[in-house]
Amino acid sequence: MDVREYFQSHENYFWEWTTDKDIHDNTGYNENNLISIPNVGTIAYRAYIIEVLKEFQLIGLPALSPLLLALYATNEGYLDLKGIKIEMQKNPMTMQKYIGDWIKPAFQFLETLESLPSNYKKGRNRILLLQTIFSNEFDLVSLKQSEYILNEYLRNPQKIANSAQKNELTVCKFSKDLRILASLHNKFPTATVIIEAMKGNIKITDLDDEVIQEETTIENNKDFIQELIEDPKTFQVGSLIKRIWSGLKIPMRHLSPGEQPIGGISDMTNKGELSRMLLSEFANEDEIFMNRVANNEALYIQREIPPEENIFERIILIDTSLKNWGTPKILAFASAIAVIKHPKAHSECKVFALGQTNVLISLDKVEEVVDNLNQVSPVLEVSQALDRFFQEEHKEKDLEVFFITHQENLANENIQRTIHENRDRLKFLVTTSVDGELNFYKHHKGTRKHIQKVLLPLKELWANPPQRRKNRENDISYSGKRTDLPLNYPILFPTPTHKIAQFLYEGEFFILSNKKQLLRTYLSDNYYNRDYYDYYKTYHGCEVLMEDISVKPKGQFALAKNKQQQFILCQYQPDKKLISKLNLNTKEYSELNLTGQHIPADSRLTYFSRNFYLFHAQALNIFKINIDGNISIESVKNDAEIQKNDTKVVIEVLRLDNSGIKISGNFGKIGINAKNNLVVSGNELSRSEESSVSFLKNKFDIKILAEQNKNKFTFPDGSEIITDSRGMLTFKSSNGNIPTFYIPSAEKGFLSLSTNVEFGGSEYYLPENTLLKVKKMEDMYSDYLEKFINQILEYGA
């Protein structure tokens, strides 16, 4: 896109370039210095429009026509929005499908802008207003193109003359401009919402990256590395990775020569086709020639066989002992991520943290990197864990193992012995140091060879740490956040399979998920369609009560409410002799070390009658932990009622064990396949013979692909699907007659479809107390999902 294309005017459209001869432009080009609306009035002078566009350099220029209408709607004095609307409705193109439907919401948004108090439409507040409403539109011009357009105009403003020559107005151009304004109406339905967004009291809708699991590309690896750099907790690790990439000489793929010739006599054979026979054979007399061919004495050029790729399982072992702590550990994790996320690395890679035991860890998300960086083992060296890894846990030979440790650990006799005994499978050895030096060694045919030394300038790389994330979130121009998601939806989430703990409190079931959320679920046998949903005759989904709970997933847990009806989570860690209490509502935390107290090894943390207890059936006295106030313990006489209650709770909570469903939380490509069904991350949403809907493996080509912008997927017609990694898809059609609806993103079982009013499908997702009207799934499918898909297909046609 260039200056001419961006500022292009069109015939029979609402705006045009005109000239005010009384005003002289400081650029020296005084023609076409004004944009006005025919028969209505002035929008703005060119100089002011350019100043406004300069404010979007760090965001991306918005589409010009919607911006001009927004400028007109925020002008002071008399405005004739109704007149512009009437003129637009007279345009023959409004008879086209979609265009007529978008005029009403588009002008509703302009009327909302007009209704804003005057102080929000003046000076810098007006600029802030425009940035607020346009900063997250998916039709923004890229930053690179925006810079090019503005620089090109400033160098040669006369190019506006080409834009002033009107082109024919197309349906695509008309519909795109209206669609943007209609979309803004959905995001900012009232003046209050706009004002709150300007003040930063609510988050403006933007988008978030989700990891695409289908393939690893250079681009998404760079995005992940950038996330590490931008997070203060992982900045030191992230800032080292690209520097390590630049010097890394470790092979990312292994080629076996197989039968590949290497030249000379080895390239000769006595069998082959005539076309591959050596020319020297034809110099023989006919009888000798035929005799050599018949007796397989003639020489041929051997056919070259391409190299074959050897498939090794790549495993990285990170030393987490005390000597590999601090800077060496940061270098170790940076080296591991550099190998895993290298642009040329296409094979899977497992990572283990070695300490007293071998722990499989993941480094695919920023949160996982933060958690694993905090792992430290009290041992001085990890020879026993390394020995156990090779001798007991991984005896297979087709391994390519990296071991990352501190340079000083190589002097340890036990480490030396273990490395020597397993040198055939320990292919690479990486050592770290406090001053930023990395050394890479390779074991080949029983000997260790030094491959390279990488010296990282730590002071230089760590000189400019990022600002804290909360400061960025208050910056309205920062667009690196995810789309706002509600805490809950009209329907329930799928219950996760991985849980930290499960509770029964006052007749209600609660779950502490591995995503550190407090969930509430329920069990019942009341289903309206037993034939279709017999599998779910007991279980239901869950609703989210609390998120981002600061708790380590270890030890025992109990849940209760205090006098203020706030949730209190009690945690007992037997290995540390530590009892703690967290108020989930206020985040108040208190802990108590129980070292020296006589607590039986198999004591259980439980709740009974307004108190927590460390309970043991055979103990005469047990410890009581208070719910209200700071944590304290008291030795009390054991009570048979506590055991009776505890036994009942354990039996009831066990009923939740099979309630989990595998959730599809990472979303890749979303589109419509050749069968006209929705495809999400390789799974097709299809109807079965039982009139139910579920995700199955997609077997058809995708013919219409949605454009991904963080966690929002937008189809060409403007319809959107917003993904929620907790297990929900939100559908927003560009057709205003199709209401927003929701479908769970569970990989197995029958699904449901719900609007804010109606519900159909598996009652697993139906809340216990709901006002949703229950309908047949086939009716919900045809009324909502089918129309949603048809809207996209008809637009493409």
pTM: 0.43
How far apart are alpha carbons 47 and 319 in whole angstroms? 62
Q: What is residue 302's DSSP assignment? A: P
CA distances from 475 to 55, 118, 143, 197, 258 (A): 14, 23, 18, 11, 58
Half-sphere exposure of 41 (CA within 13 A, CB side): 13
Label the pairing between strands 683-687 and 621-625.
Answer: unpaired
Half-sphere exposure of 752 (CA within 13 A, CB side): 28
Ranges under pLDDT 70 in the chain: 78, 92-100, 136-139, 200-222, 249-267, 302-312, 344-347, 395-398, 467-481, 525-537, 689-690, 796-797
Set out the domains of the chain in order of their start, with CATH numbers: 3-199 (no CATH), 218-253+310-461 (3.40.50), 259-308 (no CATH), 546-656 (no CATH), 670-796 (no CATH)
Count Cβ neighbours within 10 Å for each residue of 562-586 and write b for 16 or more, e otherwise: beeeebbbbbbbbeeeebbbbbbee
How far apart are alpha carbons 756 and 490 in whole angstroms? 6
How far apart are alpha carbons 649 and 606 in whole angstroms? 9
Per-residue confidence (pLDDT) for residue 571, from 0 to 100:
93
Count Cβ neighbours within 10 Å for each residue of 240-260 and write b for 16 or more, e otherwise: bbebbbeebebeeeeeeeeee
Per-residue confidence (pLDDT) for residue 690, from 0 to 100:
63
Per-residue confidence (pLDDT) for residue 103, from 0 to 100:
80
Per-residue confidence (pLDDT) for residue 201, from 0 to 100:
44
| Residue 684: how many other CB atoms lie within 10 Å | 18
Half-sphere exposure of 89 (CA within 13 A, CB side): 11
Per-residue confidence (pLDDT) for residue 598, from 0 to 100:
84
How far apart are alpha carbons 470 and 314 in whole angstroms? 38
Q: Tokens 């949730």 label which residue?
A: 567
Q: What is residue 782's DSSP assignment? A: I
- Taking alpha carbons only, the member of 310, 313, 315 closest to residue 336 is 315
Which residues are 349's β-sheet partners?
Answer: 314
